[in-house]
Amino acid sequence: MQRIKDFVWTDEIFHESFKGLTMEKFLNKIIHGDCIEVMKEIPSDSIDVTFADPPFNLKKKYGTYKDEKEIDDYLNWCKRWILEMVRITKPSGSIFVHNIPKWLTFYTSFLNEVADFRHWIAWDAPTAPMGKTLQPSHYGILFYAKNQQENKFYEIRYPHRRCRKCGYLLKDYGGKKKILHPFGPLVSDVWSDIHRIRHNKHRDPHPCQLPVHLLERLILMSTDEGDVVLDPFMGTGTTAVAAARLGRKVIGIDLDPQYVEITERKLAQETPNSKVGDIWVSFHRDEIITIADKDWESLKSYFVIPEDMRHIDFEKIKTGSAIVATSPQTSQLHLDIQEKECDCY
């Protein structure tokens, strides 16, 4: 896709003082402060992936931030941090922004001027009915490349979805079962297999905490081990935890000192161990739920794959009995892909 026009960085966004900046002092730090001011301290083209989950202007009760701006103020503010995110992202890097569709329609108009559109990911996550509207049932994650030609991107796979009762594949592949991928399909731009955090026992004292495996999927799709991920609205550390588990570096920023403290505490308990053998994968409740397609050739040696691939229709692939994986939930765990919740009635 063509950019609408070549963007000219304004004096405010791009100024001489960026010369000589270094981001090393921020690496693996969670910074208490205003994200625009902190990002101004970070050199251009220096971060592999920037991910933002800003306040949605829905009067949510945050510790410090008042989530209640006039529409113009909110959008002008959003444009300022979005432009900073793009400026600091490397030419090979990606920019992700999570929000409700209403605000994303404005974000695309800012982003199309400075970056290359790749995807609008619909994260299928139903919310409460609001009356006299269609029930909002997805959040959007805008996925932009700083430069489409140079963009680092890995196709990703998720496990086949199965009926909880009978174990059969939920999707009817007709006569194509013989050629199914043993692990599961490539992920599309609609993500239905990752749920919002439902139970309070899994939540921090924060009104809008994202699930870690959502961030892990984005990170596996767009980075390599050792790459740097920056989140300007860190909340209680979802992005930091995901990056740490996957052996990536992180820079986090939040306005609220309590959220920063919670993130630092959580980060101190993490080790980079979300792996099968030497291969980075994303787990949720002991199940591998995201792999990079490029890793399958190495990963498949850990699985017992049926000779007749039609058996995939009713049987999950299992791991060899001696195979162990490390995962964030427990340090050593026997791999056994768990069944999904049933979607059929």
Binding site for ligand SAM (CB under 6 A): 34-35, 53-55, 62, 64-65, 206, 208-210, 232-233, 235-236, 238, 253-256, 259
CA atoms within 13 A on the CB side of 312: 26
Give the nearer residue to ligand SAM in terms of CB position, either 15 or 202. Answer: 202
Least spacing, CB of residue 63 vs ligand SAM, in Å = 6
Instruction: Please return the burial class of 133, using the count of CB atoms within 10 Å of its CB with bins 0-12, 13-18 and 19+.
Output: exposed
Give the nearer residue to ligand SAM in terms of CB position, either 234 or 335. Answer: 234
Least spacing, CB of residue 55 vs ligand SAM, in Å = 5
Least spacing, CB of residue 263 vs ligand SAM, in Å = 8
Give the nearer residue to ligand SAM in terms of CB position, either 80 or 152. Answer: 80
User: In whole angstroms, what is the distance from residue 95 CA to residue 159 CA?
Assistant: 26
Least spacing, CB of residue 89 vs ligand SAM, in Å = 17
Helical (H) or strand (E) element with 143: strand 138-145
Strand 275-276 relative to strand 279-280, pairing:
antiparallel
User: In whole angstroms, what is the distance from residue 233 CA to residue 230 CA?
Assistant: 9
User: In whole angstroms, what is the distance from residue 101 CA to residue 330 CA?
Assistant: 37
Going by C-beta distance under 8 Å and a sequence separation of 6 or more, which residues neighbour residue 276?
A: 288, 299, 302, 323, 325, 335
Least spacing, CB of residue 107 vs ligand SAM, in Å = 15
Least spacing, CB of residue 237 vs ligand SAM, in Å = 6
User: In whole angstroms, what is the distance from residue 9 CA to residue 115 CA?
Assistant: 12
User: In whole angstroms, what is the distance from residue 224 CA to residue 247 CA?
Assistant: 9
Residue with tokens 């984005």: 218
CA end-to-end distance (rounded Å), the chain: 41
Give the nearer residue to ligand SAM in terms of CB position, either 235 or 247. Answer: 235
DSSP 261: H
Give the nearer residue to ligand SAM in terms of CB position, either 236 or 282. Answer: 236
Least spacing, CB of residue 22 vs ligand SAM, in Å = 21
Q: Which residue of this chain has its Cβ atom nearest to ligand SAM in the complex?
A: 235
Give the nearer residue to ligand SAM in terms of CB position, either 212 or 317. Answer: 212
Helical (H) or strand (E) element with 222: helix 212-222
Least spacing, CB of residue 241 vs ligand SAM, in Å = 9
Residue of 142, 282, 271, 272 lying closest to 220 (CA atoms)? 282
Give the nearer residue to ligand SAM in terms of CB position, either 53 or 295. Answer: 53
Give the nearer residue to ligand SAM in terms of CB position, either 60 or 311. Answer: 60
